[in-house]
Every structure is written in structure tokens, then in C-alpha cells.
Amino acid sequence: MLVLAFMGIFLMILATLTSYAFQQSKYGRALYGREQALHIAESGLEYYRWFLAHFPNNLTNGTGQAGPYTYTVNDPEGGQLGSASLTITGNLQCNVIQSIDITSEGTADLNPGFPRTISARYMRPSVAAYSYLLNSNVWAGADRNITGPYFSNGGIRMDGNNNSDVQSALSTWSCNSAFGCSPTQTKNGVFGAGSGSALWSYPAATIDFAGIGVNLSNLKTYAQSNGGRYYAAASGNVNHRGYHIIFKANGRYDIYRVTGAIAVSSYSEPTGWITNEYSIINTQTLVASDVTIPSTCSVIFVEDRVWVEGTITGKVTLAAATPSNTGTTPTIYLVNNITYATNDGTVGFTAIAEGNVLIPLNSPDTMTLSGVFVAHNGRYGRNLYVSDNAYDPYDVPEAYNSYVFRTQLTTIGTVVSSLRTGTSWTSGGVASSGYLSRIDAYDQTQATNPPPFTPSASTDYRFVLWREQ
């Protein structure tokens, strides 16, 4: 009886250990199958990236039929590992593909009960992934607080605070008095008194501004023929005309024809002192109110200057250009605050000017600008304005003296500028015009889902978004 009792106990323990071993083996096979399924799903993504590189914009895997499509993954040493089920979705605007979403569900033949699904977005990297993207030498002053990548093909003097990469395409550059160096000195690609020097790097690969340029002729065609909104040049004297667009929280906008503008004196590096900056609206007439923005082609194209302000709902791109007239390069004036109705990534704004993107003299004392602002061939900034009689005859009208200095400018998004930027001016180290405090932060939600036809930072397509479902 004693022997039988011990044998029973032994068999019970043996059965428990055997069951545990089998369960662990089953669990191990499940883990292995899940891991295989993940790699098979990844293989599906890589296959379709290869396919798009050879057959751009083909969303049907060459079949002409709706998906999903099956991609078989073979073992290089022989046999089949599993298969990926691919679902391809193109994101269209104006009947043009902006990005392609690929969903790949991988299943391992070893253990089909544990599929894994990956989704990715395939597109050219957007300029919205940067806080600033510049094509010339630049000086970021001590009042600047910059969040997000900052890049220039020229040299960078960084006296502000940065919490992300600051990159220059130059090893060294010649810093002159315009950048606070007197006498002229040879400096590293990035230098200055900024606190984030651990994140500075140079030389970095050059970004081809010609390559990232937007085809403005195409944008005009999309606005005219593919369902967008198009406005021809306004009538009247070129110095006293343009359009004033006010975006509204209901997803629509009011548009006015500017019929008169007030001239003020200003200074910028490309032009020097001028007395005829017609940037302040004096008179205007209503063209249309509560204009809808087509969801299938959210492009507004204007062949004239544009003053813009308001609250953005949805994704919309505004372009001011004259593609068939090389003698004019319209400017976009950021006359007032531009904000988003929500900040969850579903709203975005891109403003593309063939010429400059400028903040005029009569801008708000505390200003917020949300969006991607592109000065295609010109500059982004606020010109130098003065009220000191020492600059006579370049003083602004007396009624606008209080506008020379402004308190704070907050930019949430991206600035792309071919020429030097600047929204604050100093003389002898003392502020002389512009915004006394500036905060810059890129909008990460726009980097992978920007407004339609936002310029790209590279001509190469890649996965900009990857996640497991």
C-alpha cells in the first residue's frame, strides 16, 4: 500500500511536470509564431514599397482590382514561412495622391492563430517635420525659444534656446556685421551663445530647395480644374490691390478685394530702405462670404497679394503666385492671428507665397501663427520699421508709432524661407524694431499628415509613419 501511494504521488507530479512542459512548448511556439508573423507583416510593407518604387501610384498591386492582396513570404533556405495580406489606401487631394497608407497583416504558417498587423504611411518627408528650414545664413537671437529641428543650408548663429537638432550644411562660414561679427570672422557652421550646443551639428547634408519647391502651375490647375478655389488678379493699381481672406471656425471663409492700401517705410536686406510698402489695408469690398472649402480639393489659389487671418478648420493650403508672369512674385501678409479650431492633428494650414511671407506693421502686440509658412523665392519675417526722427524720411506715420515694437510672437508650425528670416531687429545690441520675445515650436501632428501639397523636404519616398495595430 505504501509503494502504491508513493507511485501515485510520483505519477501526479510527473503528469504536472509533463503538462507544464507541454504548455511551455505550446507557449514558445505561439511566441515564435507571433514573432514570425510580425516579420512577415514587415516583409509585406517592404514588398509594396519596392512595388511603388517601380510602379508609382499603383494602388492595386498591378491587378487593377480592389484588395486586399496576398504576398507570399518564402524562406531563403526553402519552403514557405507565411503570407501577408495587404490593404492599400491612397490619400487624395484634387485627384492627386498625397500619401499612401499600407496595412499589412502577417500570418505565419507555423502558427496561423497569431497574426500581427502593421500599418505605415508612404510619402515624401514633409517640411512640416522642421521648425525652420532655411536656405541662407541666419541669426537666431537670445530671445528665441525653438522647439523642433532647425536647419539651414547657410551658416547659423544660434544665441537662442533649442531643444532639438540645429544643423547647418556648412563646415564654416563668413560671419559679418549683419550677424553680429565685427570685424568679419570665419565661424563654424553653427556657433553662438545658445544653451543647446550639444544638439548642434555641421556639416549636414544639403537640402535641395529647388527640389522641394512646389509646382505652382500645378496648384493653379488644381484650383481651377480639380475642384479647388481660384481667384484671378484683382483689378486696380497693383500697389493698392489684392485679397483679404478671413478663415472662420465654421470651416468657411470670407474674402474681400483690397481696393486701397496705406504706404509705410520699411527696411529689409534684399530691398534696403523703401517708402512704399503697401501692407496696411485701407479700403476693401466684399467678394463673397461663407465660402466653403472643398474637402476633396482644399486648395485656394490667388494670382495676387493676399492678407490672411482667422481660425482654420480642416486641412487647407493657400497659394499666392503668378506662374505665367515672371515679373511679379506676390506676397502673403499675415495680418492677424492664425489659429486652429482643434489641436488634435485634424486641422492644418499651409501658406505658400511665390515671393515673401511677411508680418505687416499693424500686427497684433501678442501674435500667434499656426501653420506651415513657405516663402518660395523670398523671405519670411517682419521688416524693420522706425519712429525715430533720426531715420527721417523713413519714419512710419505717427498714428502707427506704437506698432514699431511688439511684445511676443508665437509660431506653432514651420517656416520655410529661401532668404534670411527675421521678425526682430537690433542696433548695437539694442532692440530697434519688431517682436521682443519669440517662441517657435514645430507641430509634430503635421509632419506625417500635412495640408495638401505642402512642400517635401526630400525627393525620396519613405515610410514616415509605422505602428502596430
Say whether both 68 and 158 belong to one domain.
no
Residue 11 in any domain: the answer is yes
Would strands 200-201 and 132-134 be described as parallel, antiparallel, or unpaired? unpaired
* DSSP codes, 274-335: EEEEEEEEEEEEEEEEEEE--TT--EEEESS-EEEEEEE-SEEEEEE--TT-TT----EEEE
Q: Are residues 154 and 101 in the same domain?
A: no
Q: Is residue 27 scored above 60 in pLDDT?
A: no
**Whether residues 200 and 212 fall in one domain:** yes
Residues 66 and 205 in one domain: no
* pLDDT level of residue 30 (50, 70, 90 thresholds): low
- Taking only the tens place, the pLDDT of each residue in 125-165 is 899 999 999 999 999 988 888 899 999 999 999 999 998 99
Q: Do both 105 and 248 map to the same domain?
A: no
- Phi and psi at residue 132, to the nearest 5°: -135, 140
Percent of the chain whose pLDDT exceeds 90 = 61
Mean pLDDT within 231-248: 90
- 214 and 362 co-located in one domain: yes
Is the confidence at residue 199, as pLDDT, over 80? yes
| The domain boundary residue, chosen from 75, 106, 123 | 123
Kindly report the three-state secondary structure assignment for every residue of 173-194.
Answer: EEECHHHCCCCCEEEECEECCC
Q: What percent of the chain shows pLDDT beyond 70? A: 95
Residue 312, pLDDT > 90, answer yes
Q: Residue 119 pLDDT > 90, yes or no?
A: yes
Q: Is residue 466 part of a domain?
A: no
- Map residue 9 onto helix, strand or coil: helix
Q: What is the pLDDT of residue 28?
A: 63
Is residue 233's pLDDT more than 70? yes
The pLDDT of residue 258: 95
User: Using the 8-state DSSP alphabet, how is residue 27 labeled?
Assistant: H
Domain end residue (candidates: 123, 152, 175): 123
Are 265 and 392 in the same domain? yes
448 and 313 in a common domain: yes
109 belongs to a structural domain: yes
Same domain, 148 and 181: yes
Q: Please indicate whether residue 460 or residue 105 has the higher confidence score (pLDDT).
A: 105
Per-residue model confidence as pLDDT tens digits over 407-451 = 999 999 999 999 999 899 988 778 889 999 999 988 989 999 999
Do 34 and 179 reside in the same domain of the chain? no
| Sequential DSSP letters for 132-181 | EEESS-EEE-TTEEEES-EEESS-EEE-SEESS-EEES-SEEEE-GGGT-
Last residue of a domain, one of 123, 158, 173: 123
Note whether 38 and 103 are same-domain residues.
yes
Work out how many domains the chain is built from and give that number: 2
Q: Are residues 328 and 440 in the same domain?
A: yes
The number of C-alpha atoms within 13 Å of 275 and in the hemisphere containing its C-beta is 6
- pLDDT surpassing 60 at residue 24: no
Write the Ramachandran bin of 236: left for phi over 0, alpha for psi from -120 to 50, otherwise beta: left
Alpha carbons 146 and 409: distance in angstroms, whole number: 12
Backbone angles phi, psi at 265, to 5 degrees: -90, 145
Q: Render pLDDT for 202-226 as a digit per residue (tens, 0 to 9).
A: 999 998 887 666 788 899 999 999 9
- Mean pLDDT, all residues of the chain: 89
pLDDT tier, 70 (very low <50, low <70, confident <90, very high otherwise): very high
37-69 pLDDT tens trace: 898 999 999 999 999 999 988 999 989 888 899
Return the pLDDT at 211. 67
**Residues forming a β-bridge with 259:** none
Which residue range forms the structural domain that includes residue 431? 127-461
- Ranking 30-34, 227-231, 303-307, 400-404 by mean pLDDT, the lowest is 30-34
Residue 327 lies in a domain: yes
Q: 291 near 255, Cβ under 8 Å?
A: yes
Given this model, what pLDDT does residue 14 score?
Answer: 67
User: Does 469 map to a domain?
Assistant: no
The segment with the largest mean pLDDT, out of 9-18, 264-273, 277-286, 460-469, is 277-286
Q: Residue 273 falls within a domain, yes or no?
A: yes
Question: Which DSSP helix (H) or strand (E) runs through 26?
Answer: helix 2-54
pLDDT in tens, 313-334: 999 999 999 988 877 889 999 9
